[in-house]
Amino acid sequence: MHHSHEEDERAYQRRRKLVSIFSLVVMLALFALISLTIGRRLLHFASDPAGLRAWAENQGIWGRLALVGIQILQVVVAVLPGEVVEIAAGYTFGAWEGMILCLLGTIVGSAIIYAFTRRFGVKMVEAFISREKLDSLKFIHNSRKLNILIFVLFFIPGTPKDLITYFIGLTPMKLSTFLALSTIARIPSVVSSTLGGNAMGLRNYGVALVVFAITLVISGIGLLIYTKIVKAHQRRH
């Protein structure tokens, strides 16, 4: 029994290491691809947002698909913060189109994670999330009001939404229910990021600063609320 536990632990550590290496390689490959193809142009556009928007518009559907693809990667690999992609989307495509593209990528990425989690179970989830973090999410599985809880957790800024997404496939929740609840609940936090990005794109830096400052404060409060929820559950169990 002890020997079996040790083997299980070694297999778990191997899976964690492989996924960490894979995630790093994917992000480095993406960074290298962007740098080699449009890196110089993007550096130029950093000081010329109007030029960037005109260039993105000229790319048509391909520019939009590229952003959706980056957002899918962000959700699945969960290395790059989602806010970075959302701000870039607002900067490039404006607040509302940027929001729609980000939400589309999030829906596809979340569906991929859900499908893989349902197919391969907890061992697949453990490859992406440490057992300690998984244990902290068990209150979700045990909740009798799962739908309300998921909506609240995705609505509150500052909660670890990517981690929660990996956990959902281990709960009884249907994919359609999860996608509907999480997408609607995400809208305010995504809009705040794309609005800030849009303000930067229009060179309204004062507005952008106010939006980001308010978002940061609300996210801090959200993180405190989430931490209290987790600790309250741990005390009960």
Average pLDDT, the chain: 79
- Please give the torsion angle defined by the CA atoms of residues 56, 57, 58 and 59, in that order, rounded to the nearest 10 degrees: 60
Q: Which residue has the higher pLDDT, 142 or 212?
A: 212
Residues 6 or more apart in contact with residue 210 via CB below 8 angstroms: none
pLDDT value at position 167? Answer: 85
Residues 6 or more apart in contact with residue 170 via CB below 8 angstroms: 117, 121, 122, 125, 141
- pTM here? 0.76
pLDDT value at position 56? Answer: 73
Closest C-alpha among 60, 161, 158, 63 to residue 107: 161
> Residue 220: which pLDDT band, with cuts at 50, 70 and 90?
confident
Integer Cα distance of 199 and 183 in angstroms: 23
For the stretch 29-38, pLDDT in tens is 766 766 666 5
Average pLDDT over residues 7-18: 65
What b/e sequence results for 209-236 when a residue is b if at least 16 CB atoms lie within 10 Å of its CB, and e otherwise?
Answer: eebbeebeebbeebeebbeebbeebeee
Residues 6 or more apart in contact with residue 157 via CB below 8 angstroms: 188, 189, 192, 215, 218, 219, 222
Closest C-alpha among 101, 99, 103, 91 to residue 55: 91
Sign of the CA dihedral 170, 173, 179, 182?
negative
Q: Which residue has the higher pLDDT, 9 or 224?
A: 224
Integer Cα distance of 95 and 202 in angstroms: 11
For the stretch 91-137, pLDDT in tens is 889 899 999 999 999 999 999 999 988 888 777 777 777 777 777 77
Closest C-alpha among 16, 194, 25 to residue 105: 194
> Residue 182: which pLDDT band, with cuts at 50, 70 and 90?
very high
pLDDT value at position 27? Answer: 62
